[in-house]
Structure 1
Amino acid sequence: MDGLDPEGPRLDPLSKRRLKMWIRMLGVTRSAENRLREFLRVNHDTTLPRFDVMAALWRRREGVTMSELSRLLLVSNGNATTVVDRLEKDGLVRRTPSTTDRRTVHVALTDEGLRVFEGLAADHEAELSRVFDHVDEADLDALTAILKRMGREKE
């Protein structure tokens, strides 16, 4: 015999519960994201992708190339370009051609973009706090520890 179980692969007894946990996590994430999308649209006339681009640029104040921005956001260059085009039109970001490679363009927040983003970020944080206001400090500590443990790759 080649070591295969004739009844098929044996599943971990926790596999069904892990699957249900995953579906529950996706549901919580999607629900929170939908609330944030609606909050940004209604209260700030903006979108979550615009917020995400501005957040990435706020974290990298010196600016990034368009390719780096796409990688940071896990989106295509085309998607990043579309959002950056609109932000540039609104005066919130600026593009600067590279002095060493004409195919490369750096993008960064303008002073106005920095000011607008910091206001958005404060309201975004407050809205997230409202979304999860039923999660107390002990829950946060436990969830954080669990998620950190889940994020580690098995060796």
Structure 2
Amino acid sequence: MPQASESVRLSLRLLSTGRLIEREVDALMRARFNSTIARFDFLAALDRHGALTLGEVSQYLLVSNGNITQLRTRLSEEALIETEQDPDDRRIQRVRLTRQGESVFKQMAKAHAACVDALLRDLSQADKNALSRLLDAARASLRRKVTKGATA
């Protein structure tokens, strides 16, 4: 069973490392933009993919539709996103960045990148590349397992 305990230790390291980065980025978003990392992620999904349904945003961010609905309300109130009806199916609504949302997101993205660069500054470029390759392989493995329904 040593392999299982190594896997558990690895998963805990991944989680704690991710949480440390997330905590620092969230603190930055709160301090500089009076926002949160969740709101940044929502805007990033729209920046990356264009107009999306709330279900699509939920899938990209791996969060519940309820969380997305609350974020949508706040971001709409701040005029960072707007809702439009799908031209092919009027029953479908999509959200997209407004011009103001694009501008704010660009500022947030620049600050986000600088924060993460500072956090990972002690890693060499070779280490970053190797870590990226390993994480990509781990993610691909997880997706194959999840797709097959074998999460145990």
Give the TM-score taking structure 2 as reference length: 0.85
**Which aligned pairs between 1:49-128 and structure 2 lie closer than 5 A?**
49-61=38-50, 63-99=51-87, 101-128=89-116
Amino acid at match of 1:60: H
Aligned residues: 143
Pick the aligned partner of 1:18 from 7, 11, 23: 7
Identity %: 31
More divergent stretch after superposition (114-123 vs 97-106):
97-106
What is the alpha-carbon root mean square deviation over aligned residues?
1.8
Q: Which runs of 4+ in 1 moved over 6 A?
A: none
Q: CA deviation at 1:100?
A: 5.0
Residue by residue over 1:5-43, the C-alpha shift from the partner in whole angstroms, topping out at 9 and shown as x without a partner, is xxxxxx3x3322222122111111111111111111011
Asked if residue 138 in structure 1 is aligned to residue 126 in structure 2, the reply is yes
Partner of 1:64, secondary structure, is coil
Residue by residue over 1:60-98, the C-alpha shift from the partner in whole angstroms, topping out at 9 and shown as x without a partner, is 22x011222222222222211111111111111111134
Cα 1:113–1:106 shift into 2, 3 Å: same
Asked if residue 151 in structure 1 is aligned to residue 139 in structure 2, the reply is yes
Pick the aligned partner of 1:39 from 28, 34, 53: 28
Structure 1: state its 5+ residue gaps: 1-10
2:150 is matched with none
1:30 is matched with 19
Larger radius of gyration: 1
Distance 1:152 1:102 in 2: 36
Q: CA deviation at 1:120?
A: 0.6
Q: CA deviation at 1:115?
A: 0.9
Distance 2:136 2:66 in 1: 32
Structure with greater proportional helix content: 2
Structure 2: state its 5+ residue gaps: 146-152
Distance 2:128 2:61 in 1: 26
More divergent stretch after superposition (143-152 vs 110-119):
143-152
Amino acid at match of 2:15: L
Give the TM-score taking structure 1 as reference length: 0.83
